[in-house]
Amino acid sequence: MPSETARPLYADTCAAHTLVWFRQNLRIRDNAALCAAVAEGLPVIGIWIDDAETDNPRRAAFYRQSAAELAQGLAGRGIPLYTAASPAELVRLAVRLNIRAVIADESHTFADKLADNALWHELNKHGIALTFVNDRAVFGKTDLIPDGGTAHTDFDRYREVWLDRFSKQPPAGPDLFAAYRQPFPENLSAPPPAALSDGIFLPQNSGETAAWRQWRRFLEQADSYSVLKDFPSRKHTSLMGAYLSAGCISPRLLARESLERRLNAWADNIIRRDFFLQLALQHTDDDPSDGNPEHTLRLTLWQQGRTGIPIIDAAMRCLHKTGSLHPALRRLSADFFCHVLNLPRREGEIWFARQLTDFDAAINQGNWRLAASRHTCPDIAAAAHKTDPDGTFVRRHIPELAHLSADTVHTPWRFACSVDTHGYPAHPVAGIP
C-alpha cells in the first residue's frame, strides 16, 4: 500500500486536534482511546498503521479489512481515519495537523514497549504528548498488582483476584463516544484503508459488525460450551480470537456478558488473556534457534504436518490452511514440539506468529512459555483419542488417512503391515511406541 506522504491527502491546518492511533482496538463501541480523545475537548482525527512488511499476510488482511470498516464508522461521526506506513509517518502527520496529543491502546510486550518509547521521544521533540489507555484487556497490566509487587505468575491466584475485582468494580463504564459527532473537517481528506486481501482466504468476516454477529451466534449454543469445547471436530468454540486480537470487539463487554450469563468456562478465556498480557512485559525474546541440523529437520516436518503423528500433523495442516487452530490442539502441538521433538520454544512461537490470524504477541508468548515450562508431555496417542475420539478431525485434514477406522487412524504405525497410508509417513519422527 502506498504511503500517505506520496499523495496530497491532507492539508496543513491551524486548528488543534487530538489524534487517536488505532492498533489492536479497531472498533467504535467501548473504545477507551476514543473516549479519552473526546475528553480532551478537541476535534478528533484517527490514524492506523498498515504494516506492509508483515510475515503474517492473513492477519494483515484481517486487520486491513477491519480498519476499512472502522473508517466508515468514524466518517459517520465526522472523524477521518488516515493510513500510515510507519511510526515515522505518524509523526510527520501529527506535526502537519497540529496534533496536541496522540492517544493509543497500550502495548504489553517488551519489544513493543521499546518501540513505543522511541515514538514518545520523537513526538516529544515536537511538543506532542503520547498517552496510552487500556483497550486490549479487561484490566490493565498493573491494575491487579499490589503496590510494590510484581506480575502474577500463578493463574489460579490471578483468577481469584480478577474475579474479586470484577465483582466490585466492573471496568466497562459509560461510553463517552456513544453519542459523539463532529463536523467532518473540510480541509482534511483521508481515503479509507484498502480492504483488499490480495486473494488470501479468510475463514471469517472481519470487523466490528462481524464480531458482534459471531458473538450472538455463539451465545445461541453457549450452554453446551463447557461440555463440547475440547473436541475440535465439533467446532464448538466461540471463534472470537481474531476479533479480540484485532480489537474489533471489547473484552470488557464480553467479560461482563459472559459472567452475567454464568458462562464461567468461557469467561476463563478472557481472564487467561488478561493473565498473559500482564505477564508479557516480564519477558524478552530468546534466540530462536541453535542451528542444529537435526532440529531444522524436525522443525520442517512439524511445520509441514509430516511428523507421522496424525493428530499433530492434522493440527499443523489445519493451521497452515486456515490460519486457525482449536485451543486444545494448540496446547497439544506445543507440548509435542517442546517435549517430544525437544525443539527450542521460540521456533514454535515464531511459526504460530506467522500462521495465526488471531496472533497476539503477548498471548502467543505466554502460551508457548507455559508449554515449555511443563515438566511432562501427555501421552500423544491417548490425547489424540480423547480429543478426536472418532478420528473426524484427522480425516478432515489428512486425506491420506481418510479410509482408516477410529481404532487405527491415530496410530497407523502400529498397523504398518496391514494398512496403506498412501504416502503418509509410516513411522513417527520421534520414535513414539
Nearest to 222 by CA among 251, 262, 249: 262
Rg for the chain, CA atoms, rounded: 23
Nearest to 317 by CA among 300, 304, 299: 304
Q: Distance between CA atoms of 177 and 185, rounded to whole angstroms?
A: 18
Nearest to 87 by CA among 37, 21, 17, 9: 21
Taking phi first (over 0 means left), then psi (-120 to 50 degrees means alpha), and beta for anything else, what does residue 386 get?
alpha
Instruction: Enter the C-alpha cell of residue 59.
Output: 492477519
Instruction: Enter the C-alpha cell of residue 288.
Output: 530462536
Question: Has 266 been labeled as part of a binding site?
Answer: yes
Helices (DSSP H) in 50-86: which residue ranges? 57-75
Helices (DSSP H) in 145-207: which residue ranges? 155-168
Q: Distance between CA atoms of 418 and 430, rounded to whole angstroms?
A: 22
Q: Distance between CA atoms of 126 and 189, rounded to whole angstroms?
A: 23
Q: Distance between CA atoms of 361 and 352, rounded to whole angstroms?
A: 10
Q: Kind and range of the H or E element at 271?
A: helix 264-280
Question: Has 360 been labeled as part of a binding site?
Answer: yes
Question: Has 358 been labeled as part of a binding site?
Answer: yes
Q: Which residues make Cβ contacts (< 8 Å) with residue 353, sequence separation at least 6? A: 55, 56, 359, 361, 364
Annotated binding site for FAD: 225, 266, 358-360
Annotated binding site: 225, 266, 358-360
